[in-house]
């Protein structure tokens, strides 16, 4: 009787060990599968990060190339402003009469230089279109006004900018098929890109008589700004 009990014990024990073995084997296989999946996901994540880093570096290089390209524009008419980080019109007097947006307020000599400046911009953009695919620029004509009490300075400053756009249109300076966005804007007295001082106080008989605004701000300015867009990478 004792031998039968002992035999039954070892049979049960053997079955238990076999079951535990299969349980451990199953857990081991599951661990391997989970570990493999984790490695696969980690590999994908690393590859994605590497791809993003490469793309970011390439984008940065393209942006730097875009910014550098603006330096090639004709320096006869444009110069780089390190404070505002943009190329702007130079050496052309574009001051309007008070309350006026008539392009003929500007001398014939300076109107000719404005025409040549427009040609310089279009020539630059045509060259860029060949060398930097998908490059884009913002060409901003910003009208301004002096710091006086004229109630329609914003409208007046916009009209001054629009006067240049119409002058270019009339003389065949077109931007439609070029890699740029042309914006006509009026900032009134609010632009940071202004001629200082804004004006001065005029004295009469030793007393403050009136405020005389700086007429040089009755003008427009031209900004050329790189506009990083979508680039195709191989």
pLDDT in tens, 215-228: 676 677 788 888 76
| pLDDT band at residue 233 under the 50/70/90 scheme | very low
pLDDT (0 to 100) of residue 105: 92
Q: How many residues does the chain have?
A: 234
Instruction: Please provide residue 147's backbone torsions phi and psi, each rounded to the nearest 5 degrees.
Output: -85, 65
- 124, containing H or E segment: helix 108-131
- Give the homologous superfamily in CATH for domain 73-226: OmpA-like domain (3.30.1330.60)
Q: Where are the alpha helices (DSSP H) in 171-226?
A: none
Give the three-class secondary structure for 1.
Answer: coil
174: pLDDT confidence band, cut at 50, 70 and 90?
A: very high
Note whether 168 and 121 are within 8 A (CB): no
Burial 167-205 (b: 16+ CB within 10 A, else e): bbeeeebebeebbbebebbbbbbebeebeeeebeeeeee
pLDDT 10s digits, 56-110? 666 667 767 777 777 778 888 888 877 776 777 777 778 888 888 999 999 999 8
Mean per-residue pLDDT, 38-44: 75
Report d(CA 104, CA 100) in Å as an integer. Answer: 10
- For 234, the enclosing helix (H) or strand (E) is none
Work out the average pLDDT over 21-39: 78
For residue 16, give the H/E element and its range.
helix 2-69
Q: How many CB atoms lie within 10 A of CB 139?
A: 20
* Greater pLDDT, 60 or 175: 175
Strands 86-89 vs 137-143: parallel, antiparallel or unpaired: unpaired
Q: What is the mean pLDDT of residues 172-187?
A: 90
Matching residue, tokens 């202004």: 194
Residue 229: which pLDDT band, with cuts at 50, 70 and 90? low
**pLDDT tens digits, one per residue of 120-165:** 999 999 988 888 877 888 898 988 777 777 778 889 889 989 999 9
Greater pLDDT, 31 or 111 = 111
The model's confidence at residue 172, banded by pLDDT at 50, 70 and 90, is very high
Q: Encode pLDDT of 9-26 as tens digits.
A: 556 667 667 777 777 777
**Domain layout of the chain by residue ranges:** 1-63, 73-226
C-alpha torsion 34→37→42→44, nearest 10: -170
Choose the weakest-confidence range: 4-8, 48-52, 159-163. Answer: 4-8
Q: Is the pTM of this model over 0.75?
A: no
Which of the pair, 7 or 72, is modelled with greater confidence? 72
């Amino acid at each position: 009787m004792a031998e039968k009990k002992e035999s039954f014990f070892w049979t049960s024990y053997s079955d238990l060990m076999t079951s535990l073995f299969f349980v451990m084997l199953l857990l081991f296989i599951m661990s391997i599968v989970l570990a493999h999946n984790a490695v696969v996901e980690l590999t994908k994540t690393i590859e994605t990060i590497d791809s993003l880093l490469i793309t970011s570096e390439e984008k940065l290089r393209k942006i730097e190339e875009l910014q550098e390209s603006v330096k090639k524009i004709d320096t006869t008419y444009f110069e780089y402003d390190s404070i505002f980080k943009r190329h702007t019109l130079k050496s052309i007097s574009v001051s309007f009469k008070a309350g006026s947006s008539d392009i003929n307020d500007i001398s014939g000599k300076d109107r000719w230089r404005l025409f040549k400046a427009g040609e310089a911009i279009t020539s630059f953009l045509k060259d860029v279109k060949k060398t930097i695919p998908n490059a884009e620029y913002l060409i901003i004509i910003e009208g301004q006004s002096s710091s006086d009490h004229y109630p329609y300075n914003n409208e007046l400053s916009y009209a001054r900018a629009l006067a240049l756009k119409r002058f270019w249109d009339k003389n065949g300076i077109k931007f439609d098929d070029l890699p740029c966005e042309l914006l006509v804007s009026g900032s009134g007295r609010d632009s940071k890109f202004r001629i200082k001082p804004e004006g001065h106080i005029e004295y009469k008989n030793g007393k403050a008589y009136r405020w005389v605004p700086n007429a040089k701000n009755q003008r427009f300015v031209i900004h050329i700004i790189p506009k990083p867009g979508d680039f195709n990478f191989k």
